[in-house]
Each structure stands twice: as C-alpha cells, then as structure tokens.
Structure 1
Amino acid sequence: MTFLVAVVSLLGTIAIFYGSKTVYVKFGKAWLTPILITPLVVILILLVTGIPYEMYNAGGHVLSNLLGPATVAFAVPIYKNIGLLKKHALEIIVSITVGSTVAITSSFVLALLIGLNDELTYSIVPRSVTTPIAMDISTMIGGSPTLTAVFVMTTGILGALLAPMLIRACHFNTPSAKGLMLGMGAHGTGTSKAFEFGELEGTFSSLAMVVAALISIVLSTTLFPVFEQLVMNSLLP
C-alpha cells in the first residue's frame, strides 16, 4: 500500500506540475505559476484524502533528491554563455555582489526586528538564492532547509509578480538590467519570467541566478558571521 501511494504521489505531483504549467501558458497570469499552484493542489489533496505527509513524501522525496543534480547543472548556463559573462563581467559581478549582500543582511536584520527565533532567522537569510543552494547554505549556518525552501519559493513568487511593475517604475530598458534584476531577486521563478521578456533577458537572469548562488555561499560563510557578531554585540546592553 505504501509503495502504491509513493508511486501515485510521485507521478501525481509531476502530472499536477505539467497540468498547472499548461494552464499558466494558456492564460499567462502570474498567480497561476506552477511553483505556486502545484504545492497548493498537493496540500489540498492531502487534506481532503487524509494521507499523511510522510506517506506522500515516500514518493515525493525523489523530486527533492533531484535538487542535488540540479545544483551541478548550474554549470551549464555559465558554460553556454561564457562569452556574455566575460563581456559583462564587471556589471554582473558588482550588481550581484551588492544584491546578495543586501539580501543576506536585510533578511537577518528584519528577522531580528520582528523577533524570529534562531532557526527561523537562519532559515530566512538565504531566501534570495535558488532552492538547492539556499538549502545547503541554511544547513551550514544553522537553519532549517525545509523552511528555507518555503522562504525561497515565497521570495521567487513575489519577485516574479512585482517584477513587471518595478521594471516600468525604474525604466529598465536593457535586457541586462531586466535579467539581472529578475535572476537576483527571484532566482528560478524570476528566470522563467525573464524568458517571457526575451531570450537575452532570460540568459542574463540565468547567469545572475548562478553567480548569486556562488557569491552567497562565500558571503554566508565569511562576511555574514562577522556581520552577525557586530549586530548582536550592538544589541547587547
């Protein structure tokens, strides 16, 4: 019985994803993005059927395990677009370094201000990095990878929803500006949105997402502990 549920949960999750993707492509509404609709439908099914999450995850974890190979696959867009990366190396590295620094520090300070506990605080810090890398960073700094995945999804969805308005408000006209903003601010979901603007926007977004992941790993293990200590010392009486 458990094996049957595992198989159904795995195939069902894939079917729900592709079904929601079809609906999204047809109607083009940002709130219909598969990354939002798929987990909502899965949650609804589990609540209605009463299937325990542990039983569902017997098959669903296969998809989670694919995050490892997905991390390695990030080398592909860098290799394919190495010429573009070299040509725009300065603007990419500077903008993504600034963006990653602001994302990490602002998340930490915001978490302290609203009084989150340590686990939630360290889980929200890598929220602006693509999921597989963010989960690894979360583990390294003492957070919960599962909670981090939720924060990453929320950040990505909100980023993709707000991106068109920000692009118009800030008068971003070049593919590099649009793509780097979406890749840095909304990672995978933002990259999908960037490709809707154009191939160059999507390419820059892919590069931004990968570079942001690499830079965030370095910042989280070097500068973040120093920043954390400075902030905590300033809060002590």
Structure 2
Amino acid sequence: MSFLIAILSLLGTIAIFYISKMFYKKYKKEWLTPILITPLVIIIILLLTGTSYKSFNAGANILTNLLGPATVAFAVPIYKNFNLLKKHAFEIFLSIAVGSAVAITSSFIIAVVVGLNDELVHSLVPRSVTTPIAMDISNMIGGSPTLTAVFVMATGILGSLIAPLVIKVCRFHRPSSRGLMLGMGAHGTGTSKAFEFGELEGTFASLAMIVAALISIVLTTTFFPALEHLVVNILLP
C-alpha cells in the first residue's frame, strides 16, 4: 500500500504541475503559476484523503533530489552567453553581492524584531538562496534545513508573483536588470519566471542565482556571525 501511495504521489505531483502549467499558459494569470497552484492542490488532496506527508514524500522526494542537477543545468544558458556576461562582470558581481548582504541582514533583523527563536532565525537567514544550497547553509549555521526549504519556497513564490509589478512600476527595460532582480530576489522560481521574459533575462537570472549562492556561503560564515554578535550582544544585550 505504501509503495502504491509513493508511486501515486510522484505521478500525481507531475500531473498536477503540467495541468496547472497548461492553465497558466492559456490564461496568463500570475496567481495561476504552477509554483503556487501545485503545492496548494497537493495540500488539499492530502487533507481530503488523510494521507500523511511522510507517505506522500516517500515518492515525491525523487523530485526534491532532482533540485541539485536542475540547478547545475542553469549553467547551459550561462555558457551560451558567456561573452555578454563577461562584459558586465563587475556590475553583476557588485549588485549580487549587495543583494545577498541585504537579504541576509533584512532576514536576520526581521526575525529578531518579531522575536523568533535561534533555530528559526538561522533557518530564515538563507531564504534568498536556491533550495539545495540554502538547506546546506542552514545546517552549517544551526538552522533547520526543512524550515529553510519552506522559507525559500515562500520567498520564491512571492518574488515571482510581485516581480512583473515591480518591473512595470520601476520600468526595468534591460534584460540584465530584469534577470538579475529575479535571480537574486526569487532564485530558482524567479529564474523560471525570467525565462518567460526572454532568454537573456533567464541567463542573467541563472547567473544571479548561482553567484548569489556562492556569495551567501561566504557571507553566512563571515559577515553573518559578526552581524549576529553586534545585534545580540551589543545592540540588544
């Protein structure tokens, strides 16, 4: 029985994703994005059938394990447009470094202000990094990788939903601006959204996501401990 549930979980998740993707392509409504609709439908089905998350994840975790290879696959468009990326290397690195520092700082400050415990604080800090790397960072700094995955997903979904509005209001017309914003602000989900705008946007988003992950690893082991010490021991003794 458990094997059957695992198979149905895997195939059902894939089917729900592709069906929601069809609706999204047809109606082009942001709230119909598969990244939002798929987990909502799965949650409703699990609640109605009384299926535990453990039973569901026995099959669906195969998709989770594919996150690593999927992240590596983003290197393909980067390679194809390497000359363009090399031309803007300084601007890209500087903007992503600032974005990563702001993401870590804002996450930490908000968590401290609302009174979250240490585990939740450390789980929230890497939320702006793609899931596989964010979970590793969370484990390194004393957070819960599972909670971090939830925070990462929420950040990605929210970022991809509000990105079109931000692009319109701020009048971001350059592919580099759109792509870097989506890749830095909404990582994998944002990169997927960026490819809807165009290949160049997707390429810059892919680069932003990968570079942000590397920079965040460095910042969480150097900058973050200093920030935490400053806030906890000096500003909030």
2:33 is aligned to 33
2:82 is aligned to 82
Q: Contact 2:194–2:205 at 8 Å: present in 1 too?
A: yes
CA distance in 2, matches of 1:220, 1:78: 25
**Local SS of the residue matching 1:115:** coil
Superposition pairs for residues 63-82 of structure 1, below 5 Å?
Answer: 63-82=63-82
**Local SS of the residue matching 1:58:** helix
* Unaligned residue ranges in structure 2 (runs of 5+): none
Q: Contact 2:75–2:206 at 8 Å: present in 1 too?
A: no
Alignment deviations for residues 99-153 of structure 1 (CA, whole Å, 9 cap, x no partner): 0000001100110000111111111111111111111111111111121111111
The percent of aligned pairs where both chains have the same amino acid is: 75
AA aligned opposite 1:121: V
CA distance in 2, matches of 1:12, 1:74: 26
2:132 is aligned to 132
CA distance in 2, matches of 1:176, 1:50: 46
CA distance in 2, matches of 1:68, 1:195: 19
CA distance in 1, matches of 2:91, 2:103: 18
AA aligned opposite 1:111: A
Cα displacement (A) at 1:171? 2.3
Q: Contact 1:100–1:216 at 8 Å: present in 2 too?
A: yes
AA aligned opposite 2:80: K
Alignment deviations for residues 56-75 of structure 1 (CA, whole Å, 9 cap, x no partner): 11111212222233344444
**Local SS of the residue matching 1:143:** coil
**Residue 179, structure 1, aligned to residue 179, structure 2:** yes
Q: Contact 2:78–2:203 at 8 Å: present in 1 too?
A: no
Decide which moves more: 96-105 or 129-138: 129-138
Q: Contact 2:131–2:152 at 8 Å: present in 1 too?
A: yes
Superposition TM-score, scaled by structure 1 size: 0.94
1:220 is aligned to 220
CA distance in 2, matches of 1:224, 1:170: 30
Superposition pairs for residues 51-130 of structure 1, below 5 Å?
Answer: 51-130=51-130
Superposition TM-score, scaled by structure 2 size: 0.94
1:6 is aligned to 6
CA distance in 2, matches of 1:74, 1:166: 24
AA aligned opposite 1:195: F
**Residue 210, structure 1, aligned to residue 210, structure 2:** yes
1:16 is aligned to 16
1:232 is aligned to 232
